[in-house]
Chains A and B, each alone.
Chain A
Amino acid sequence: MTDSQRQMTGAEMVVQALKDHGVEHLFGYPGGAVLPIYDALFQQEDVRHILVRHEQGAGHAAEGYARSTGKPGVMLVTSGPGATNAVTPLQDALMDSIPLVCITGQVPTTLIGSDAFQECDTVGITRPCTKHNWLVKSVADLPRILHEAFYVATSGRPGPVVVDIPKDVQFATGTYTPPAPTDAHKTYQPKRSPEIERIRAAIELMAAAKRPILYTGGGVINSGPQASQLLRELVSLTGFPITSTLMGLGAYPASGDNWLGMLGMHGTYEANMAMHDCDLMVCIGARFDDRITGRLDAFSPGSRKIHIDIDPSSINKTVHVDLPIIGDVGAVLADIVGAWRQMAGDAKPARLADWWRQIALWRGRNCLNYKPNADVIMPQYAVQRLYELTRDRETYITTEVGQHQMWAAQFYGFEEPNRWMTSGGLGTMGYGLPAALGVQIAHPDALVVDIAGDASVLMTMQEMSAAVQHDAPIKIFILNNQYMGMVRQWQQLLHGNRLSNSYTEALPDFVKLAEAYGCVGLRCQKPGDLDDAIQEMIDVRRPVLFDCRVANLANCFPMIPSGKAHNEILLPDEATDEAVATAIDAKGRALV
């Protein structure tokens, strides 16, 4: 790049920086304060802009893009309402550690603070929902800040950042400096490699454990495919059983011998019982979320705990651990696997035999069992059939939030990382449809299915229009029970079956809605017709809204009821109306 080539406007710098950071797609919505950047985008072909229908959709699409590729997602929105609409995906990305670079337009610097048209204090509003944010007051600072933004979003524990660029800075001309690969950040330098003494201490604990369990999370996925590979190696070397949080599904294959299924509030009986009774818990890239631990004072009372995390603030936040190891999951697992090989060789220790016998008993409870029905589609059955008919393809699954999300996690078997996109920490209804759009843009030839609920999907339904525009053949598989099912389930458990506002009285006709958007609408009401209908959905190369009418009152089990410990989990065969009604005593009502 010659000196004269490096002279450019702020808007051109934004596009140049995107190219220099390898960005191929960004998601956004134009408006007054970002028009110069949209003009610069118009005059080039390297970076493709995906126009959405609402800024929240841009954010979730960028999240889906990021989660399925391992690259940062990028979104571009205007000032004021554009920025405030981005807040939900920013917080979502913060809680699920998704690298997301959000560029917002701002009113000209001279108007900041004057309550100008479409002005808001973007850095003030987004400060608590980003890893870091910047208001760029001079074009001279812009290149440095743009490079820093990508660095902060993708380093350490990934997360969202906002770069707020006033319109006069976008118009101003300055000198662009390309990113320098060796640039060490002056303050933000997350520790990646663990201390060797900690690795030794971990090996000692692991070699002596009689009832160990690996409890893994989204950190394994974030660390990259190599980390998942090392995790699989560690499981086969040690013979330890393994469970995962919602965010970590796919790091270890669901078909693997040592897989116990997901843990937590709607996790499997065997996973939760093993967590409760273990003598050594190795937490890898997870954060002891309250949906995982249940009641803290009864959480795995007899175990020593090792916690591997890149973020020191995750250590001892809610659960005291005996051996924290700060570092990148991939780097830590490489050291542990290496040390284990040196110490123990490849032999699977026979001392775990009793533990596996116990686990086999728990597995024998068949906790995901449900009563099949010949006339009505059970939601679990729908997910199972979807899994069977899509498992041999390159399939990516996104979800909304609620019962359908838990059934997807329980009944869809994930074999690979980065194939499962869901809103875990924030629990954002409306995440799955735009996330599917983002995934499809990143993987145009893959099958991308949003397992949705009828309530969630209406929150971001407008992005079907974006899917049609960008030829993204996403499949929206709606488990339609006409209720906010998880809300209703909690009302049944907690609030005397008073179903306050959880029944959606006037749902749209999803088939007609699909047609109105220019998509394909399919409806299925009978279990016998389901396979053919799913096959039709897969075969059509266009976006599909699939209205799968399921049993209206099915509930999601197993469930750890409020105020109970892991070993007090409620199983479906025990979940009679009476058991549900008495599962939570008065004291427990505060807890859920």
Chain B
Amino acid sequence: MNQPLQPPASAYFITEEKEPSETRTLAVLVDNEPGVLARVIGLFSGRGYNIESLTVSETEHEKHLSRITIVTSGAPHIFGQIKSQLERIVPVHRVVDLTLTARAHGQDGAIERELAIVKVAGKGEQRLEALRLADAFKAEVVDATTEHFIFQITGRVSKIDQFIAIVAPLGLVEICRTGVAALTRGKDGM
């Protein structure tokens, strides 16, 4: 158990979080109605949970369902609480901890992919080097002039992080990332 902090005086039992932090990916199926994203995000900020990545889009148009994928981090005991709190939100249909589901099936984690578009400006050898790197990372050129490229890269978060780190000195202008999209492996749905 955590030791209490020293004063300043407070009306509450204050403890320092000492458990090691871990990362989980949650899939949240919600009614696609106004304010539903605010409810989910408000829950995270209001209760002090972390959001590392957030991806939202309508996935079943006829049923007005959206799928929210949240990568969150914290002490292991908090994830059950996050799931229960999410399930309390009225327009939430289902919440699945994809990381936990994968572990239960003996896998490392869920299938998690991200897309980034990356703008690199430069001339001469620098520009060629950026193109070679893009090729090595299987990034696609989606826009170009003689002074810039825009690359589209998909894959694991770590791969995108690595690509961005490598092209950074070659005239990196800006980046846009989608956040993580995730599904469990195997034939079954969430």
Residues of A at the B interface (CB closer than 8 Å) are 123-124, 127-128, 131-132, 135, 152, 186-188, 290, 294-297, 311-313, 315-317, 490, 494-495, 563, 586-592
Contact = CB atoms under 8 A, between A and B. Distances in A.
A127 B35 contact: yes
B10 A590 contact: yes
Given A152-B90, A316-B81, A591 B10 contact: yes
Given A188-B90, A316-B80, A590 B46 contact: no
Interface string B98-126: 00000000000000000000000000000
A570 B12 CA distance: 18
Contact of A132 (B2, B77, B81, B90): B90
18 contacts: A187-B31, A187-B91, A187-B92, A187-B93, A188-B90, A294-B13, A296-B1, A296-B13, A296-B15, A311-B88, A312-B87, A313-B85, A316-B77, A316-B81, A589-B8, A590-B7, A591-B4, A591-B14
A131 B90 contact: yes
A592 B11 contact: yes
B6 interface: yes
Given A312-B84, A313-B81, A297 B11 contact: no
B42 A127 contact: yes
Interface string B9-39: 1111111000000000000000100110011
A137 to B, nearest CB: 8
Contacts of B7: 586-587, 589-590
A132 B92 CA distance: 11
Contacts of A128: 42, 46
A592 B10 contact: yes
Contacts of A490: 11
B176 interface: no
Contact of A592 (B5, B6, B12, B84): B12
Contacts of A495: 9
B3 to A, nearest CB: 8
B9 A187 contact: no
Contacts of B93: 186-187
Given A131-B90, A132-B90, A316-B77, A589 B9 contact: yes
B9 A295 contact: no
Given A316-B81, A590-B14, A591-B12, A127 B91 contact: no
A537 to B, nearest CB: 34
Contacts of A152: 90
Given A297-B2, A313-B88, A589-B8, 19 more contacts: A127-B39, A187-B31, A187-B91, A187-B92, A188-B90, A296-B1, A313-B84, A313-B87, A316-B77, A317-B81, A587-B6, A589-B7, A589-B10, A590-B6, A590-B7, A590-B10, A590-B14, A591-B14, A592-B11
Interface in B33-52: 34-35, 38-39, 42, 46
A123 B1 contact: no
A187 to B, nearest CB: 5
